[in-house]
Each structure stands twice: as structure tokens, then as C-alpha cells.
Structure 1
Amino acid sequence: MTLSPRVAVLAGGLSHERDVSLRSGRRVAEALRSAGVEVTVHDVDSDLVPALTQLRPDLVWPLLHGASGEDGSVRDVVRLLGLPVLGTDPRASRVAWSKPISKTVVARAGVRTPDFVTLPQSLFHELGADQVLELLDARLGLPLMVKPSRGGSALGVSLVTAHDELPRAMVDCFSYSDTALVERAVVGTEVGVSVIDIGGGPVALPAVEIVTDGPYDYDARYNPGRTEYFAPPRLPEDLGRRVGEVAVAAHRALGLARVSRTDLIVDESGEVWFLEVNTAPGMTETSLFPQAAEAAGHNLGELYRSLVLASLNA
């Protein structure tokens, strides 16, 4: 395989996270070009299949956030074209994309995850919203996290600290998904742990500690100023290693490939809790993956080029 591969980056799409995807795609393309890689960037629209058919790149790197980008469907289409794709295969992508399923899989592998229930919007209405909310409060207690069962960038996610906040949280959640995941909120230090595999198996990058004034929502994630990051995190050395081990365990249990980011909470007792995993982590200027890579001493262009070459040589 040539040391100067041609890479097609996919960015954009029609999800709620389109802008983030475009920013991720632009940043990765710039970094790859700085490392001598030939890159083209493509939106996901009716021009994509003809463009890839004509171009025949050595590798396609989807940097798509949201449904079609992370549920495996775009990866399936690229494979139908006979082109290799960087990252997790379509089947494992579908498992990771579903928060309830991914939580169940990692729990079976011995990773702790907060207790949760899933509520389709239709069932929520059929049984009566008030009665279901009472059951949630009684069964899981407060505080609670309400989030879409699929999706990213904290869209539709709410922290509920009082019973009268639940109805609004459910409405916000159902704006982004027809199924809500309601889980017991864990209080502690929030970290994101990125995992890479450039040929020797999955390895955790330094965790990034997230400190924000208020919820770590969409605005806090992508608009500088609201959130402070610490990479490596301000954790004891043994806990720093432990969160990396948990992220790698989740990566392996879910059958992920090349790159992922796992979101975790470390509670006051030092217990590490799995929240969710992302197979297409953001690569913007405020995203956790680039911060972790730089904290580990990686040049982003060279690291991304290594991921490309490892994918082609697998």
C-alpha cells in the first residue's frame, strides 16, 4: 500500500449534528494534508455515490455524527461500492449507536453502568404520562438523566433534580428520538476517554476531565468558554489508569475498531461508571479526541495518517 493514500472524508449529512460534522471533517482533512495525505471532502447527498465511484479513493473516513453517520448505514453503502472504510464495521456500529443496547453489552462484560429504563414515546402516552413519571421517580430516584436512546452531542439530554422537571425533560428528549433512556444520574468527575488502534490493539489516550458551569450540553461542548478541560485529568494515578482500562474494555466488548470515545463518570468512592460510547468522536477544535491525542504527545496529522495506514494494512 502506498505511503501517500488517497482518503475521502465524509462530513455533513442531514442530522441535527451537521455543523459539528462539517467542522470535524474540515479539521481532519487539514491535519491529514499536513501529513502529506491526499484528501477530498464530501457531503452525504445525491452526489456522494457518483463521486466515490469516479474517485475510487484508497479509504473512506466517515466523520458523520447522528443517525446515518453512526448507525452503520453509510458504512454499508460505502462497502457496497467495494471501498474500505476507517473505523467500526456497520453491525458493531448499530450496536454502539443504541445506548440501551451498548449499556447492556458492556454490563455483561463486567463494566458498571447506571441503572436505566427505556420508554418509547408511544408507550409513554398509552400508559399515561403521570403514572409512568411516578414509577420512574419511585424506581430510580433522583437525580435522573433523560436522553434520547440514540444520538449524540447531548441533544435532547436533561438532568432532572426534581420531580416536576421530568415532564419537560421527556418532551425535550422526544424532540430528538421516539425512545427515551432514563438512567440514574451518577454524581462525580466526568471524563471522556478516547481509544485508538494503529496496529497493536486498542490503547487508551489520556482521559479528558470535563468541568462546566451547568450541564455539558451542546452549547458547552462546541462553543469555547463554557467548559474547562483537563488533559490528563485531575485524578489519582490509579484512577487515571482505571478509566483507560474501562474504555478499552468497552471498546473490545462492543467490537469497535480503530477509534472510539467512551464517556465515563468517576463517583466519590472511585467507582467508574460507563455512560455511552461514540464510534465517530468529534474532531473539532473543542472536541475531546484531539485534546487527548495532543496530551499524549501525538501530532494530529501523523496520528490520523497512522490510523489510515493501519486501516489499509489490516
Structure 2
Amino acid sequence: MKKKLGIVYGGKSAEHEVSLSTARAVTQAVDFDKYEVIPVYITYDGEWRRGSALEGPVATLEELRLAGDGNGKPDSIHAFLSGEALDIIFPLLHGTNGEDGTVQGLFEVMNIPYVGNGVLASSAGMDKVVMKQLFAQVGLNQVPYVFFLRSGWAKERQQLVAQMERELGWPMFVKPANLGSSVGISQATDRESLIAAVELALKFDRRIIVEQGAVAREIEMAVMGNDEPACSVPGEIKPVTAFYDYEAKYKDGNTALVIPAQVTEEVAKTMKDMALRAYKVLDCSGLVRADFFVTSTDEVLINEVNTMPGFTPTSMFPLLWQQTGVAYPELIDELIKLAIERHAEKQNIQYTMD
């Protein structure tokens, strides 16, 4: 009998369109002989719209923008909760209100198996400041950084600029603490561009992180598993632009991905060790993509982990596993299997004092 697989996508996030692309890709690779695929679309306004089972792969993004029932309740999840029970959920949400532990908490309360990281890992992995602080706890090598709140920027702009010049130097990378897909990220090379970059980032988050620019190669590694995770081969990003921004990732198509990356065995070993330590300190499950800087002297610094990485067939995470021997359809099956295993293990937890 087919399992009812709910794919949840869209969301109140600047990464809404990226999520739709991921959902379309999954429908084109999932085995419809194994799964009855139920689309669940979350609009920009946060309305949950549950559709009928898909008959086959989705060809366009527009097909995924499900029509509502006209009840005028943008925050309602009634359609999702009142439908026939799902066997498993595949949350294909990127960014805030989806990748950050919020919907994971809902699925936990509903006691439904779901693919990917749990509440803690999703939340900590989304917040770049918390993530870096946890990385520091286990001694992971990172670039220096400064973080502050919108209120702090309003009150102490000059002091913060002076601190960043003193502690970081030029260039710097300015980022919203709680977004992915390079949304709101800018490179700053002087005071004027730094202030402009912070103002841009503040449109997307109340907390900002500013990192020292690293003169290094950008190399990534995929991790998959629960208690005993495994790593893929490493892959290198070679953007044509100054850095791997949103345009380079999703629009211009000029970024080269080199898989496997040309690194020494020692660097690959170091990356694997760091990726697994990061995975465990965040208590990850299912999947992450770990992003690194590798300098000309082969120093390895961890940049971040992405707890719901891009998941189209041309995204780095699936490509890394493809080169490691796991094809895209098999990857989906494995992640679903891991989700079911994790859910079954959690059923052993006792909630009474008897």
C-alpha cells in the first residue's frame, strides 16, 4: 500500500520561490508507485492550502500555487489539519517560518514523521550567531565575526562600525542572522558600503552578523543520517561574481560546481571531521550541507551548515551525493527512511512518571 507523503512548500519567507523550485524537483523524482504525494502549499501570507493527491510530476511552479477556499483566514492551517492523515511529511521549506524549527515543532506535536532536522537543530542551524557559538564550543575553526541587533545599530552605529574595522578589517560580509540562500547578504569594502549592507540586511532580520572576509576557496560537503551520519565527497563552488550571492545561486547560471573538489586527502579528512562534529553539536538528523573555506595554505574554516539545503537536481547537496553513489530518487527514499526511523525511535520515550 502506498504511503501518503505530504510535501510542504512555499512559506512566509524570502526564500518562498526557492522552496517552490525544490518542491517541483521532488515531484519529478519521487516514485509515484511507492508514494501518494499530497501537496501542501503555504502562501506568502502564511495560509496553508492542501491539494488533492498529485497524479504525476509537476511541470511548472504555477501548478504548485494551490488555490485557496476563500475563507479569508491567512493564518489558518485548518485545511492541513482536517485532511486525511499523512504517513510522513517532507518539509521543503527554506528560511524563516519553515527551516527554523517552527513547522518542525508543529509536526512534533502532531506526532507525524517528517524528513530532516528536528526543532533544536533547525532553530540553531538557522540562526548564524547561535550556530557559530555552538561551533566554538566544540573547537571548530571559524572566521572572526561581530553581531548586533537593530536597536543596537540605531543607538551605537559609529561604535559598531569602529569595532568592526578594528576586529575584522576589509572586506567584510554582512548577513541577516536568520536567512539562507544568500538573501540580504552583501560584501562591504569601506564604511559607506558597510552601512549600506547593514541597512539592506536589516530589511530581512533584526539581528545581523558581520564576518571577516576570507581569501579562500568555497568547498561544501553533504551529510546524511541520524545517529551515525555519513559524508559525501567534497564539492567546490566557483562563482563568476565576487561571492556566491542569490543571483549566482539561482538566476545567472554562471557558477561552476566542481565535484569532487580538488583537495588533498588531509583537507578532505579535516572537512569530514568538522562536518560530523558540527552535525552532532547541533543534534542534526536527516541531512545538512556543511560549507567551508579552504585557504591557500590548506587551513579549513567552517562557515555554516544548512539544515534544508537546496534540493533540486542541480543543487549542490543532491549533486554531491550523486557523485558519492546515491542518485536523486534514491536520496529521497533514504531521507524518508531516516525520518521514519527517527520517529519510531522517539516512540520509545516515556512521558509519564509511572
Picking from 212, 225, 230, the partner of 2:239 is 212
Aligned to 1:73: 102
- Per-residue displacement from partner, 1:106-144 (whole Å, max 9, x unpaired)? 1111211111111111111112x2332122101221221
Aligned to 2:116: 87
Aligned to 1:47: 49
Contact 1:158–1:169 (8 Å) recurs in 2:
yes
Picking from 174, 197, 203, the partner of 1:146 is 174
Helix, strand or coil at the partner of 1:71 = coil
Helix, strand or coil at the partner of 1:67 = coil
Helix, strand or coil at the partner of 1:83 = coil
- Per-residue displacement from partner, 1:31-51 (whole Å, max 9, x unpaired)? 122673332221122335433
Structure showing the higher helix proportion among its residues: 1
Contact 2:115–2:338 (8 Å) recurs in 1:
no
Picking from 12, 15, 26, the partner of 1:14 is 12
Moved more, 236-245 or 9-18: 236-245
2:113 maps to 1:111: no
Aligned to 2:346: none
Aligned to 2:72: none
**CA distance in 1 between partners of 2:155 and 2:202 (Å):** 15
Q: Aligned letter for 2:124?
A: V
Aligned to 2:347: none
Contact 2:227–2:285 (8 Å) recurs in 1:
no
Contact 1:20–1:284 (8 Å) recurs in 2:
no
**CA distance in 2 between partners of 1:200 and 1:5 (Å):** 24
Picking from 172, 190, 202, the partner of 2:218 is 190
Alpha carbons of 1:224 and 1:244: their partners in 2 closer, same or farther (altered >3 Å)?
Answer: farther
Helix, strand or coil at the partner of 1:309 = helix
TM-score in terms of structure 2 length: 0.83
**CA distance in 1 between partners of 2:32 and 2:249 (Å):** 26
Alpha carbons of 1:191 and 1:13: their partners in 2 closer, same or farther (altered >3 Å)?
Answer: same
Alpha carbons of 1:86 and 1:207: their partners in 2 closer, same or farther (altered >3 Å)?
Answer: same
Answer 1 or 2: higher relative contact order, Cα 8 Å, separation at least 6. Answer: 1
- Per-residue displacement from partner, 1:40-76 (whole Å, max 9, x unpaired)? 2211223354335423111111110111111111111
Q: Which residues of structure 2 form unaligned runs of 5+?
A: 51-76, 343-354
Picking from 100, 125, 128, the partner of 1:99 is 128
Contact 2:240–2:254 (8 Å) recurs in 1:
yes
2:308 maps to 1:280: yes
The within-5 A match list for 1:1-314 is: 4-33=2-31, 36-44=34-42, 45-48=47-50, 49=77, 50-127=79-156, 129-197=157-225, 201-214=228-241, 215-223=243-251, 225-314=253-342
Moved more, 153-162 or 258-267: 153-162
**CA distance in 2 between partners of 1:246 and 1:151 (Å):** 22
**CA distance in 2 between partners of 1:310 and 1:135 (Å):** 45
**CA distance in 1 between partners of 2:253 and 2:270 (Å):** 29
Helix, strand or coil at the partner of 1:23 = helix
Q: Which residues of structure 1 form unaligned runs of 5+?
A: none
Q: How big is the shift at 1:170? A: 0.9
Contact 1:34–1:301 (8 Å) recurs in 2:
no
TM-score in terms of structure 1 length: 0.93
Moved more, 216-225 or 38-47: 38-47
**CA distance in 1 between partners of 2:265 and 2:81 (Å):** 46
Q: Aligned letter for 1:237?
A: E
Contact 1:56–1:83 (8 Å) recurs in 2:
no
Alpha carbons of 1:132 and 1:76: their partners in 2 closer, same or farther (altered >3 Å)?
Answer: same
- Number of matched residues? 310
**CA distance in 2 between partners of 1:71 and 1:310 (Å):** 20
Identity between Structure 1 and Structure 2 (%): 28
